[in-house]
Structure 1
């Protein structure tokens, strides 16, 4: 049986109040900050962790989709995403019993491509199957919907 290989993703963070400075380890250090809305105790000086989570969903789909497209032999152009996550703040902010997760996440994706309709459906399904962030959302139990459409590649 072959040995399963893994790739470590490492983030170190420090902060005070609800704001943080985060550093991604690796060959090229990447630094980003997180804060939150005033209603959650922040100054709205940086994106909230939940905004980063939804952003991770868009970018992970684009990375994974690029890999899938390569294996299918299709060309891709511009990607456009619109994602909405609906959160009941009563658990995180008020301490209510219940699930602190999003209740629902709706994803709309448009991709410029030369793929035929049947190949685009395979591309969409395979991208969502192979995308780690999509799978985290889907397996979390929230109501997850996605709507993928294709646009022609520019001439």
Structure 2
């Protein structure tokens, strides 16, 4: 008897094809979104599209925003603006030079400024629940790299 998948499981699929280090990717689903990756010339590319490493960091910012929006709704708070800066420190010795070791980022830092009406307590919940529930954050954290998650609460500006 076949095992029926959980109703809450949503498959995410991407198809990629390319030559050299350039690749065209198509995301599954109704949108069929197409995006491209390339690499810096030092890695054999032409820098004609973002590196897959930028997409990984970009996925971290956007997944935090999506997850944070869901958490804010659950907490009954308003968020009017999300601002993220993410830096990933990558030692390229393994990737480029073939050295022994881990090709992963050594460290990733998330800096976020969130305009919200949340109290300090609610904001702390927003941060911890977003970190716990965000699939991309969990990919990074569970990979063993040094992960810094620094969020700042900003007041929603008064209407003019």
Pair in the same fold by TM > 0.5: yes
- For residue 48 of structure 2, give the secondary structure of its aligned residue in structure 1: coil
Match of 1:8 among 8, 11, 14: 11
CA separation in 1, counterparts of 2:135 and 2:127?
Answer: 14
CA separation in 1, counterparts of 2:46 and 2:30?
Answer: 32
The residue number in structure 2 matching 1:81 is: 84
The residue number in structure 2 matching 1:64 is: 67
- For residue 126 of structure 2, give the secondary structure of its aligned residue in structure 1: helix
Matched, 1:42 2:41: no
- Where do residues 1-155 of structure 1 align in structure 2 (5 Å cutoff)? 4-5=6-7, 6-155=9-158
CA RMSD, 1 decimal? 1.2
Deviations 1:100-149 (A, max 9, x none): 00000011001110000011001100000000000010000000011000
Gaps of 5+ in 2: none
Q: Give how far 1:4 is off.
A: 2.6
- For residue 39 of structure 2, give the secondary structure of its aligned residue in structure 1: coil
Gaps of 5+ in 1: none
**TM-score using structure 2 length:** 0.94
- Count of aligned pairs between the two proteins: 154
- For residue 91 of structure 1, give the secondary structure of its aligned residue in structure 2: coil
